[in-house]
Amino acid sequence: MTTQGPTIDDITAAGARRKKDADRLKQSSDALKELVLDALREGHYRPTDVTKASGWTAAHVRKMAREAGIEPDERYKERADRLRKSSEEKTA
């Protein structure tokens, strides 16, 4: 008994499935990005909650927000500045 490997048709079909899946992933990622950015613009939810719900990392959401012209809430910026200053004082 011989085992037949994949055929060209098998590979072609798998390639087509991969492309279709990649297209669907891009569409769903684009839709999620718009929802995340809209939520950040509206400010009804904390950025950490939006980030957690999205499944993306905080760094990725922050980068998308900055690229979309969404600046950090002043309260978060002040907190980050205080934390950064405190950290610098500890290492000095």
The pLDDT of residue 91 is 79
Question: Do the beta carbons of residue 7 and residue 27 sit within 8 Å?
Answer: no
Instruction: Flag whether pLDDT at 1 surpasses 60.
Output: no
Tell me what the mean pLDDT of segment 68-76 comes to. Answer: 84
Cα torsion 46, 49, 55, 57 to 10°: value is 50
Mean pLDDT in residue range 19-28: 97
Give the residue extent of every domain in the chain.
Answer: 16-91
- Tell me what pLDDT residue 17 has: 97
Tens digits of residue pLDDT in 39-63: 999 999 999 999 999 999 999 999 9
Q: Where are the alpha helices (DSSP H) in 43-91?
A: 47-54, 58-67, 74-91
**What letter does residue 39 receive in the DSSP assignment?**
H
Residue 85, number of CB atoms within 10 A of its CB: 10
